[in-house]
């Protein structure tokens, strides 16, 4: 006498939902498909462009300082007994660089948030 017969296994497959997104962008990025690589490349280009633009602004401002200090009345001006060029280079430059750094971090985070929103499923 044999035991009770088991029903034959049947594979159940969920049907494709109508209106479901065909492209899963997060999967595309994780699996590094062609679309995912293009998305990551876009993020890298955006971050690089931001860094280059802010770097050029800093370079232009710092590069213009010697020209500004070359003007005789400005070079000889004193504030609290300190000549203006030394005051600008020793005191004012650091908060300005800090502000540019904070701006870069904020804008870079915005780029990454936009990328994550795009890649979200």
Give me the pLDDT at residue 119, please. 76
Give me the pLDDT at residue 17, please. 52
Low pLDDT (below 50) residues in the chain: 20, 22-23
Give me the pLDDT at residue 98, please. 95
Give me the pLDDT at residue 36, please. 75
Give me the pLDDT at residue 22, please. 46
Q: How far apart are CA 37 and CA 5, in angstroms?
A: 52
Give me the pLDDT at residue 118, please. 81
């Amino acid at each position: 006498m044999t035991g009770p017969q088991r029903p034959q296994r049947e594979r159940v497959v969920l049907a494709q939902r109508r209106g479901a997104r065909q492209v899963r962008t997060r999967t595309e990025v994780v699996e590094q498909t062609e679309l995912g690589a293009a998305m990551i490349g876009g993020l890298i280009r955006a971050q690089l462009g931001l860094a280059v633009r802010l770097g050029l602004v800093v370079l232009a401002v710092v590069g213009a300082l010697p020209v500004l200090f070359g003007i005789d009345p400005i070079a000889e001006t004193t504030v609290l007994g300190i000549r203006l060029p030394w005051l600008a280079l020793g005191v004012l430059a650091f908060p300005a660089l800090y502000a540019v750094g904070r701006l870069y971090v904020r804008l870079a985070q915005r780029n990454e948030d936009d990328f994550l929103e795009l890649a979200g499923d």
